[in-house]
Every structure is written in C-alpha cells, then in structure tokens.
Amino acid sequence: MAKRALLVGFGGFLPERVLTNDELAVKLNTSDEWITTRTGIKRRHIAGPDDTAASMATSAAEAALAYAGMSASEVDAVIVATSTPDQAFPATAVRVQAALGMKQGFAFDIAAACSGFVYALAMANSFIRSGQARNVLVIGSEVYSRIVDWSDRTTCVLFGDGAGAVLVSGTDAPGESGILSTHLHSDGAEGDLLYVDGAVGRPHMSGHLKMSGRDVFRHAVAKLSSSVDEALESEGLSYSDVAWLVPHQANIRIIEGVGKKLGLNPEQVVVTVDRHANTSAASIPLALNEAVRDGRIKKGELVLMEALGGGLTWGSALARM
C-alpha cells in the first residue's frame, strides 16, 4: 500500500483551430473589449471535425506518460472527467484505455462539470492510498463548442475545447511530496444555476448550456475562498506556504480574487483563461501542464488547485510537487 500519491506526468492537447474575440464579434452583438473586460478571455481553441473527447484525452494522456517515462502497460486505472462525452456509454475513459493499448486495469468517467478534475484527482489519490491502484491517469477532456448556443453571447464566448492529463503514481519512499489533501463539496439545490438543457434520457430539449452568470459568480467567490481555507487548515499551513495557485480557468476576476486572498503575487497564479477560455474539467490540468513544462512550478513547491462547476460542485486539492 502506497504511502503517498505523486504527480509524476503532465500532458495537454489543444485543437488546432483558434477562435478570437474579434471573429465572434462579426457574428454576435459583442466585441473584444466587452469580452475581455468581463472575463479576461481573448481567444479559445475549437475542436475540429476529427477531435473528440476521447481522442483529445488520449493525446493528453500519451504526453503525460511520455513526461513520466512510463508506458500504458504500467497504468492501473484511467479516470476521465468530462461533461461532454462522445457517447452516453461506454465511458470516454474506456475508449482512452483502448486507444492507449491497455489490456489491464479499469476505466470510468466522472461528471462534476468544471470541478471534475479535482474530483477525479481525489479518487485517484484514494485508489492509490488504499492499495487498489499504483498508477492512475487523471484526465479532463471537454468539447464545449458542441453544447454552447452560438447565438447566446453571454455563454458561448466563455468556453473552449481541450484536454489535460496528470499521471498519479504511488510511492512507499519517505518524503513530503505528493497529494496532501483533497476536499469535495456539492449543493444540488443550486443545480439550475448552471446546466445543460437536455441529454439522452430527456428528449426534445435543446441540449445547450444554460447559466445564471451573476449567481454563479457570487457562489464561486464565496465557495472557492472557503475551500482554500479548508485545504490549508487541514494541513496546518498558511497562505504564505503556497507557492502556486492553479485555479479553474473560468473568469479572470475570480482568479485574481482568490490570488489576492492568498496574498500571492500575480506571477504565482497560473493563468490560461486568456488563451484557452473556460475548458471546464480540462482547465486545471492544462494550466498545470503548461506551468510545469515551462519551468515555473518546481519540485518541492506547494501547489493549490481549486474549482467550482455546475451541480453546484466545488473542491480543492493541495499537492507538493
């Protein structure tokens, strides 16, 4: 049974197509200034005809395995966080398992909207700590371009497509690195603030994302702040111990607000929302992948991840790299 779960591999995939605010302004009653001022978003990646949740997740997973110097034959489990699966079933994760050539282990999806990666990371940590798995691929993969209403400027400008992956590996060796704690929450009474109007089990619906933006913003500020405090208090740590904040990339004002609460310099907050927009469950692993690969996040540093999404769901994860 492993003592700790380490983050050992990082990968990401972004579709080739880039859609700018100026391009959106041609078709919508909006402008680059309007979008940027309210969200911080300048552009987003849009899935091509051959891009799927499974194909993007597979590419991100392959990059994470390569980073870790491991093969798919060493992976015990694949967990994919997605709100935009390719099919009702089988799970996107089993498609990824097959694409990686895995003949062992287990795979499943988790649906917690934008909080999905934090939820999946918590599950991977539990599997490793309990001895049920040794190496787990945790992936967020989303194609929100296929569920947004492209005539609604209040929602379609906010989202983008992509996938991010982390390989989590158990270790028996002494040390302080690894996932220190995870904290998950939900409030189903607020489920109508952010949802998709339709699914396989509910025909004759639009199938488009619906959001009460102001209410979601209000909940995000309060719940993410409390989640940050919860994570640090659980480990007896203070704001000053945090080296990096890797938040869900939904809105620059929310991101900056949490960063200020922690007393972090802007340089200590990983921001990709300007280039990726909101990629839901993929946003944290995509941001983590970027910051690890460009050398910003270094071994031994304390990283705090947090997210809020439809459900409402929210949570945090604290890890030492």
* CA nearest to 319, candidates 225, 231, 223, 229: 231
Going by their DSSP bridges, the two strands 135-143 and 77-81 should be labelled as parallel
CA–CA gap between residue 210 and residue 308 (Å, rounded): 16
94 vs 79: CA distance, rounded Å: 9
The C-alpha angle with vertex 100 and arms to 181 and 246, in degrees rounded to 5, equals 30
Residues labelled as active-site residues: 114, 248, 278
Helix 213-234, helix 252-262: angle, nearest 10: 30
> Do the Cβ atoms of 312 and 259 come closer than 8 Å?
no
C-alpha distances in angstroms, 24 versus 153, 209, 266, 288, 311? 9, 18, 29, 28, 28
How far is residue 102 from each of residues 76, 132, 166, 174, 319, measured CA to CA in Å?
9, 17, 17, 30, 28
- 155 in Cβ contact with 193 (< 8 Å): no
DSSP 8-state assignment for residue 199 = B
DSSP secondary structure letter of residue 121: H
Phi, psi of 307, deg, nearest 5: -160, 155
Alpha helical stretches, state H, 81-115: 92-99
Do 60 and 137 touch, CB atoms closer than 8 A? Answer: no
